[in-house]
Structures are given as C-alpha cells and as structure tokens.
Amino acid sequence: METQCCIAGGGPAGMMLGYLLARAGVDVVVLEKHADFLRDFRGDTVHPSTLQVMADLGLLDEFLKLPHSRIDHLDGWFGEDRIHIADFSRLNTVCPYIALMPQWDFLNFLVEKGRAFKSLHVLMSTKVTDLVRENDRVVGVKAISQTGEMEIRAQLTVGADGRHSTVRAAAQLAVQDVGSAIDVLWFRIGRDPNADAQDFGHIKKDHMLISIDRDTYWQCAYVIRKGDAEKVKAQGIEAFRQSVVDTDPALAGNISDLQSFDDVKLLTVGIDRLNHWSIPGLLCIGDAAHTMSPVGGVGINLALQDAVATANLLAEKLRSGTLSDADVEAVQRRREWPARAVQAVQRLAHHNLLEKAIRGEITRAPLFARVLSRSPWLQGRLAAFIGLGVRQERVSSPRHF
C-alpha cells in the first residue's frame, strides 16, 4: 500500500491528524491496533482548546449533541481547608468549560466525520510492528492485521501510538525520563445523577483521591507511592474501601461497587520525552513524543494540539509533494516547549503536592493553595494553563474538497 502519510495509532493525536490531513486533501492511512475505541481509562476530558478546534472545523454544534457533562471550576480539600483551584468560566474562548465525554465517543465522532474525505483510510485491528527503511530514511511501516502482514509506504510516517510507542522504539529514538514517584489506582463508584456536584480532589492524612463527576458514576483516582500497588492489595479490599470512604465520605453510599481488586486498575505513571521527535521520514507526536502524567488531565489536550500544529505546518507540503526533513523538524520546534512547560509543572505538582500528600506531610492547605483560593484571577490563569495550554493551536491547515 502507498500513501502520502501513514499514522501509527488511532488515539486523539493520530485520529485528529488523520482527519486534518485528509481534510486538506492529503492521502492518509491511520493504523489502529484495536478493533474499536471502546477502552476504559484513557481520560475523558475535552478541553476548551479542543472545543475551539471543533469550532474551527465547523463541527462544534454537532459534537456537543453527544452526551457529555461540563466542568466549569475545580475545587479541592486539603484536610479541612476547601480550596478553589481553577475557574474555567473566566476563559475568553468559545466553550469556557471542560466537557467530559467518553474518549470512544470523541474518536468515533472524528472517524464518522472523516468519512466525508475519500483520502482518509482508517484501518482498525492493524498493529504496526516495525518501520521500513531505505537509504537511512523511514519509508513506511510493517503491520499485521487479521488478513496477514502488510507494508505501507509513505512520504511521512507518524508515530502517534502512545506512551508504549512501537514506532519510537523501532526508530531507537533516545527517551529522556523525567521521573515520577507516584502511581494511580483507577476505579468507578456509582453516583446518583441528581446528587449535588461534588468537589474534585481530597487530600487527607496519607491519601489523595480525585473524583471526577461522570453523571452516573464517579471516576476515581487514588494516588499511591510508585510500586505500592501490591502493598495496598495485600491489605485487602475492605481496608481499601475504608480508606476511600475516609478520604471522601460522599462515596460511602456506593462503595460496595468495589467488590474486589478486579474493579481497580493500576496506572503506572510516567513522564518522559524524546530528545528528537523526528528522523528522516518519521515524526512522533502526542504521548509517543512526550508521555504525560495524568496531573491536570492535559495529555489528550497536548496530543490534539500537536496534531493541529503538525497539520498546520505540513499538510500543504505533503499534498504538493514538497515536504522536506526541515519542515518535519519544525513540528518539534513549535511543540516541544509547550510539552516541556506542562511537564515541568506536573513535576512540581508531583514533588510538592502528590508525593508529600501520600507521605502524610500535608495536613492543611499550603500557602500557595490558600493564595490561589483567594484569587479569582489566579484561578482564571490556572484554568487557562490547563484548558488552553501554553501555546494554543488554531486550525489553519486548508480544506480541500
């Protein structure tokens, strides 16, 4: 198979890039190893910057008809201190809130809308296994599907295959580990849809719990020390349930939803980034270029912004067959510092908040949190950082059809 751009991975970065390139008249193949997008725990946050992208594409009204809930502010508890963290309603953007929507709905929507473009080919159940090289250039990928092995040749190959990227490993791109001392246990607890909206984060004794309102359930993240999952499990499910309820009593009513540790998934948290996002013929974006911690729920946002920037910079050149290696390198120059800035803040939050919280060193709100809580302006700035990112990308790639 031959195409202009072959994208490994149909996550937020890969599907958005596929959509944008096809919209710009580029022939593009997206390879996704799973048969569908129905996988849990990949984050369900659609940020204001992404909603702005949907508006840029003329898709917003239809997109917002999909079932979703909205968060316009974040509050949390440090022991007995209630802290206002971020206020999205202060943002000057088309949708000043985070929309919570299952990620499979978002990705299915993009695939559905992408059917309008004949040059978009999404191959599900197709796993990239290796790169194809010729004369020190990447000229495509090897992949395997239910019908057997295949080779897809492309002017540009994009690794958008996430934090365990096969592409970046095959390209032997050097990875810089920024480090993380935490892991997260993820689970759901039933919620009465008529219940009052609840606070977002709780830090108590040596626990930290984030509960995200998903209408009929709470998506909960219980922060533990890296490597402590087995220790938590050894204490038994009843001790774990008790700890969850002690941290957030509002979860007591449906805590029996946690029947065993089969209902609890471990997320091994990592923060890393590539030194070089590209080599001749290949570019990595999204988590494949910079794996993000779940802190701030910004990984999807950054991955999508990478896709928008890549299409803005490369679509026309790919379409006209004039793409150079220097054009591809420009993507890293544009997107590396936003990723680095967010990772630096995530690292600070890990070090000064999460790691201290799980060591039991935080009993009340630290000074910075109290200052933040008293300043609506700062809450607006933090909302802008989380919701729009440090360099907001707007769609400027052309529409050709």
The kind and range of the H/E element at 148 are strand 148-159
Q: Among residue numbers 260 through 289, which ones bind ligand FAD (CB under 6 A)?
A: 267, 286-288
Q: Can you tell me the distance from the alpha carbon of 125 to that of 33, in angstroms, rounded to the nearest whole number?
A: 5
Nearer to ligand FAD, 269 or 365 (CB): 269
Tell me: does residue 76 bind ligand FAD (CB under 6 A).
no
User: Per DSSP, what are the bridge partners of residue 137?
Assistant: 134
Q: Which stretch binds ligand FAD (CB under 6 A): 20-28, 59-67, 300-308, 320-328?
A: 300-308
Pick between residue 25 and residue 43 the one whose CB is nearest to ligand FAD: 43
Token pair for 138: 């990447």
Q: Interface mask (CB under 6 A) for ligand FAD, residues 87-126, using x and -? A: ----------------------------------------
Cα 359 to its chain centre, rounded Å, is 27
By beta-carbon proximity to ligand FAD, the closer residue of 139 and 284 is: 284
Distance separating alpha carbons of residues 53 and 72, to the nearest angstrom: 18
Residues 179-218 binding ligand FAD (CB under 6 A) are 186
160 binds ligand FAD (CB under 6 A): yes
State both tokens at 64.
Answer: 């917002």
In whole angstroms, how close is the CB of 34 to ligand FAD at the nearest point?
A: 5
Q: Find the binder of ligand FAD among 13, 91, 110, 182 (CB under 6 A).
A: 13
Helix/strand/coil for 114: helix
Closest CA to 198 of 106, 51, 360, 69: 69
Determine the length of the chain. Answer: 401
Q: Specify the stretch interacting with ligand FAD by CB under 6 A; choose among 11-19, 63-71, 189-197, 271-279.
A: 11-19
Cβ at position 39, least distance to ligand FAD in Å: 7
User: 52 or 301, CB closer to ligand FAD?
Assistant: 301
Pairing of strands 28-31, 2-8: parallel
Nearer to ligand FAD, 127 or 153 (CB): 127
| Axis-axis angle for helices 12-23, 299-320 (nearest 10) | 30
Q: What residues contact residue 91 under an 8 Å CB cut-off, 6+ apart?
A: 48, 380, 383, 384, 387, 388
At closest approach, how far in Å is the CB of 393 from ligand FAD? 15
Of 157-165, 168-176, 252-260, 351-359, which segment contacts ligand FAD by CB under 6 A? 157-165
Q: Taking the C-alpha atoms of 122, 307, 396 and 333 in order, what is their torsion angle to the nearest 10 degrees?
A: -140
- Nearest Cα neighbor of 366 from 377, 354, 378 is 354
Nearest to ligand FAD of 365, 383 (CB atom): 383
144, 159 Cβ separation under 8 angstroms: no
Binding residues for ligand FAD, rule: CB under 6 A, are 8-14, 31-34, 41-43, 45, 127-128, 160-163, 166, 186, 267, 286-288, 292, 294, 297-301, 303
